[in-house]
Structure 1
Amino acid sequence: MRLDLTIVENNSSQTQTNNSDSDEEDIQWTDDETTTAVTAPEFPEFKIRVQEAINVLGGCVFPKLNWSAPRDANWIALNSSLQCQSLCDIFLLFKSSDFITHDLTQPFLHCSDDSPDPTINYELVLRKWSELIPGAEFRCFVKENKVIAISQRDYTQHYQHIAKQEDSISSAILEFFRDHIQYQFPDEDFVLDVYRDSSGRVWLIDFNPFGEVTGSLLFTWEELTSGKNLTDGPAFRYTTSEVTVQPSPCLSYRIPRDFLDLTTGEDAYKLIDFLKLKKGQQEEEESDEEGEGP
């Protein structure tokens, strides 16, 4: 189910008020020169429409925008899940997600087309919530309308059944692709995520762009674009043992960005500032120790 999503930016001149009777409703930040009252925006009609859609879909939904779901923000939800029962749940995930921020601010960052960026009509997409087994999800890479690679989607875990059922899983996915997807999608290069249930039936989860903006999982984009290390038929990769289990790539989104930059060395200036701070603290401690001498 899709709902139009309007992004509203409050004009600061409209929010500067001197409303002494609504102190409980307004949040105020004050400095020596100005006082600005900022009132949280409300969308009563949109909220009603969203709640009606959630009720129609059974009371629990999986939310996303045009391209991305807030998979990097499930840690902030009380249930540590993307399951939402209200617009407040959706807003909490969206506001905490770098994936959603990217869609809103830099959706064409990795595009090579020189044409001007098109106008985007953002849509809030709500799907009926379903409990999916992570070990039954697979990502398929399609080039020139042919599946060239299949990857276990949750590659951070080892699922024994995948090795035992490799041939049947691959055959079911390829049959589904030929019957329902091939030559039906507007582009000839794309990525799709599918789910194979316990009865062997394959379900479409989502489409993704064929490019670095989409996770390559157990492949590399160099392999996928050049065909290097790929067999004549679709290459099928999965985590083969507990030894090769990897941490989830979304774990890095659970800590402040400054901490991540420090540990990875991505921002040299933050590291320099941190070292200066530590040096200052050390000099302060040494000075205090000297002052406490006999």
Structure 2
Amino acid sequence: MKKEQVVNCQFSVWYPIFKKHTIKSDHNTQPIQTTNSDSDAEEDVQWSDDETTTTATAPEFPEFTSKVLEAINSLGGSVFPKLNWSAPRDANWIALNSSLQCSSLSDIFLLFKSSDFIAHDLTQPFLRCSDQDSPDPVIKYELVLRKWSELIPGGEFRCFVKENKLIAISQRDYTQFYHHILKQEELISQAIQDFFSQHIQYNFLDEDFVFDVYRDCQGRVWLIDLNAFGEVTDSLLFSWDELTSGGEIARQQQQEGPAFRYTTSEVTVQPSPCLSYRIPRDFVDLSTGEDAYKLIDFLKLKKSQQEESEEEESTLQ
């Protein structure tokens, strides 16, 4: 996986190509600009009596806010938000309805601030690329708002394409057993293959990529997202060794079509991989020792509490 392939999987790159076959969306790549001058910014700071603390008013972006609200209204009042590549799927636990459905800018900000997936997009989108010695491409970050649609998790599938050939299909929500997938295995696989050959194959900028689809109750297939063909993308019920080695999966693809994997019984049901993101990051850092400063602050706090407790005991005596 190279940096150029990651760039090509940005929403603003693939959406115009496949617009007819995906969910209606709005995206804006214009940089956020504030109208406050430096002097205005200084006036916003309010000093308290305690010289060690300051408070400042939160920045406001009226033009950006207006555009977002206008886009939300044009898409029916509720949207699914994402950045160039990722959606904050790991942060749905923090929303009041435990959903990524947003109807205001504050809803979007709450999810984005709580998401490691979004942080990855912003800080290290080329982390696992093979051409690390080459300069990082310049990225214009974009807020993507997609029309909210109630998708049944059992209808989502991830498809792996190598050299413009569909080699594998995986159930997207592999932690659950869906009886209809077991019952309609051949129909689902064939519908996805037909969709790929008619609308996706040879139309994307790269020959190796991953795409997500949704098959609705009427059997129609819709494109949901595109991702880079590499370890930055979750391989779900496959392993990346299988997908890249050219072994069993490649031979099956040539003889019988793409490999299709799904959860086959309730016995194999697993907990959601996103559950780990519900633990506050500070707790994780403390438990693993990844952030030394947090650990030092924690030890100082415990020491201070211990000293206060000892003082209270001596006073009582």
Match of 2:115 among 97, 112, 117: 97
Change (3 A) 1:219 1:27: farther
Which has the higher mean CA deviation after the structures are superposed, 249-258 or 166-175? Answer: 249-258
User: Counterpart amino acid of 1:49?
Assistant: K
1:244 aligns with 2:262: no
Match of 2:136 among 117, 121, 129: 117
Distance in 1, Cα, partners of 2:247 & 2:39: 57
Partner residue, 2:201: 182
1:61 aligns with 2:82: no
Displacement of 1:227 in angstroms is 3.1
**TM-score normalized with structure 1 length:** 0.83
Change (3 A) 1:191 1:260: same
User: Counterpart amino acid of 2:264?
Assistant: T
Distance in 1, Cα, partners of 2:292 & 2:219: 53
CA contact (8 A) 2:101 2:148 kept: yes
1:47 aligns with 2:72: no
Instruction: Tell me the alpha carbon deviations over residues 88-115 of structure 1, each in whole angstroms, 9 at most, x when there is no partner.
Output: 1111111111111111111111112232
1:81 aligns with 2:123: no
Distance in 1, Cα, partners of 2:37 & 2:242: 48
Change (3 A) 1:31 1:8: farther
Distance in 1, Cα, partners of 2:262 & 2:128: 27
Change (3 A) 1:224 1:266: farther
Partner residue, 2:13: none
Change (3 A) 1:224 1:28: farther
Distance in 1, Cα, partners of 2:184 & 2:38: 59
Displacement of 1:198 in angstroms is 1.2
Higher relative contact order (CA 8 A, sep 6+): 2
Change (3 A) 1:87 1:269: closer
Partner residue, 2:125: 107
Instruction: Tell me the alpha carbon deviations over residues 133-160 of structure 1, each in whole angstroms, 9 at most, x when there is no partner.
Output: 0001000011100111100000110001
1:218 aligns with 2:218: no
Match of 2:281 among 233, 253, 257: 257
In angstroms, what is the RMSD of aligned CA positions?
3.2
User: Counterpart amino acid of 1:248?
Assistant: S
- SS of the aligned residue for 1:101 comes to helix
User: Counterpart amino acid of 1:4?
Assistant: T
Alignment of 1:93-242 (within 5 A): 93-113=111-131, 114-230=133-249, 231-233=251-253, 234-242=258-266
Identity %: 70
Instruction: Tell me the alpha carbon deviations over residues 46-69 of structure 1, each in whole angstroms, 9 at most, x when there is no partner.
Output: 111111111111111111111011
CA contact (8 A) 1:63 1:127 kept: yes
Distance in 1, Cα, partners of 2:270 & 2:70: 40
Distance in 1, Cα, partners of 2:162 & 2:37: 46
Displacement of 1:3 in angstroms is 1.4
- SS of the aligned residue for 1:232 comes to helix
CA contact (8 A) 2:33 2:61 kept: no
Question: What is the aligned residue count?
Answer: 278
User: Counterpart amino acid of 1:240?
Assistant: T
Distance in 2, Cα, partners of 1:101 & 1:11: 28
Partner residue, 2:10: none
Displacement of 1:176 in angstroms is 0.3
User: Counterpart amino acid of 1:84?
Assistant: C
Instruction: Tell me the alpha carbon deviations over residues 199-248 of structure 1, each in whole angstroms, 9 at most, x when there is no partner.
Output: 11111001011111111111111111113442522111111111111111
Displacement of 1:193 in angstroms is 0.2
Where structure 1 has 5 or more consecutive residues not aligned to the other structure, the ranges are 20-25
CA contact (8 A) 1:16 1:37 kept: no
- SS of the aligned residue for 2:64 comes to helix
Displacement of 1:252 in angstroms is 0.8
Distance in 2, Cα, partners of 1:168 & 1:91: 40
Distance in 1, Cα, partners of 2:268 & 2:49: 54
Greater percentage in helix: 2
